Each structure stands twice: as structure tokens, then as C-alpha cells.
């Protein structure tokens, strides 16, 4: 089965780089296909009891700067592969952003790494890849 619109969920992790390799392979073997890369990030939130604790602006800036650097890194990699891909930086819940982008742009395959940079957050909330697989209406390729 060939896919014409491929969406890669990318966060810069080791698993995401493996997924990037696979998405590049899929895009190259399908003439006329398009590759969309989404890096979705959230600003950190800390709760004290039931209240949301304010964070210094520098913390949010550090998260944003890292997100921008992650998208720049993937753009360089795609350029070196000779692929003309769309790379988007989205702010919000990663699983929701990935699924929303897939629906809005009518992609027919989502490629995602099996584990990202979630850490303890993944343990508490469930992994992004798990949430995408459970909620997607289109095929999802989870790369280990």
C-alpha cells in the first residue's frame, strides 16, 4: 500500500529519529507523495495542590527555543535528503495537535516513534504514540 500524504510526529528523540528515517524511506518510494512533519510541544505546568503555579518567563522561553531548534534540525535533515517537506511547529497537547493536523490536512498515514521525550509525564498521562494510535482514524506506523 502506498501513501500519498505522510505525517511524521517528531520531537527530536531517538525514537523520533528512527521514525524520521522510515518516513523519508516511505516518501522516497512513493512518487508524488508529500511529507508533513509536526513538532508539537507544551509549555510546562506545575500544580501546587489544586492551583497552577506560575513559571518564570525564562522557563517558557527555554522550552520554545528548544522547540524551534528541533524544527530547524529536522528541516536541515530533510533538505540534505532532497525532500521538499512541510515542517510545522505547533503548541498544545502533542497527541491532540498531531491528530488535528492529520484531519485538517487529510493525511493518510501517521508515522511516530514508540517513545518520545515524555519521562514521568508519559507514565502519568500515557504516551503520545499510544494516544495517537488509540484515537486515529487512519493508519499509524509506530517505529521502535
Neighbours of 6 (CB within 10 A): 23
| Average pLDDT estimate for 134-144 | 95
- For the chain, list the domains and their CATH numbers: 5-143 (3.40.50.620)
Confidence of residue 123 (pLDDT cuts 50, 70, 90): very low
Are 23 and 86 within 8 A, CB to CB?
Answer: no
pLDDT of residue 1: 64
Answer yes or no: is pLDDT of 106 > 90.
yes
Are 3 and 108 within 8 A, CB to CB?
Answer: yes
Distance, in Å, from the CA atom of 77 to the CA atom of 46, rounded to the nearest integer, reads: 34
Distance, in Å, from the CA atom of 43 to the CA atom of 59, rounded to the nearest integer, reads: 9
Residue 138 DSSP symbol: S
| Average pLDDT estimate for 30-47 | 88
* 8-21 residue pLDDT tens: 999 999 999 999 99
Are 21 and 51 within 8 A, CB to CB?
Answer: no
pLDDT, mean over the chain: 88
pLDDT of residue 56: 81
Are 133 and 28 within 8 A, CB to CB?
Answer: no
* 39-81 residue pLDDT tens: 999 888 776 777 777 778 888 899 999 999 999 999 999 999 9
pTM above threshold 0.85: yes
Closest by CA position to 10, among listed 1, 24, 20:
20
| Average pLDDT estimate for 80-109 | 96
| Average pLDDT estimate for 105-134 | 76
Answer yes or no: is pLDDT of 135 > 90.
yes
Are 143 and 6 within 8 A, CB to CB?
Answer: no
Distance, in Å, from the CA atom of 27 to the CA atom of 40, rounded to the nearest integer, reads: 21
pLDDT of residue 5: 97
Amino acid at each position: 500500500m502506498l501513501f500519498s500524504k505522510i505525517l511524521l510526529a517528531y520531537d527530536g528523540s531517538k525514537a523520533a529519529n528512527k521514525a524520521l528515517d522510515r518516513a523519508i524511506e516511505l516518501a522516497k518510494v512513493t512518487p508524488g507523495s508529500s511529507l508533513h512533519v509536526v513538532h508539537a510541544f507544551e509549555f510546562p505546568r506545575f500544580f501546587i495542590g489544586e492551583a497552577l503555579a506560575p513559571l518564570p518567563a525564562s522557563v517558557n522561553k527555554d522550552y520554545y527555543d528548544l522547540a524551534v531548534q528541533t524544527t530547524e534540525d529536522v528541516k536541515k535533515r530533510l533538505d540534505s535528503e532532497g525532500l521538499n517537506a512541510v515542517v510545522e511547529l505547533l503548541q498544545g497537547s502533542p497527541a491532540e495537535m498531531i491528530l488535528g493536523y492529520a484531519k485538517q490536512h487529510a493525511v493518510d498515514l501517521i508515522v511516530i516513534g514508540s517513545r518520545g521525550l515524555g519521562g514521568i509525564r508519559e507514565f502519568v498521562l500515557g504516551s503520545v504514540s499510544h494516544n495517537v494510535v488509540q484515537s486515529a482514524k487512519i493508519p499509524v506506523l509506530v517505529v521502535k
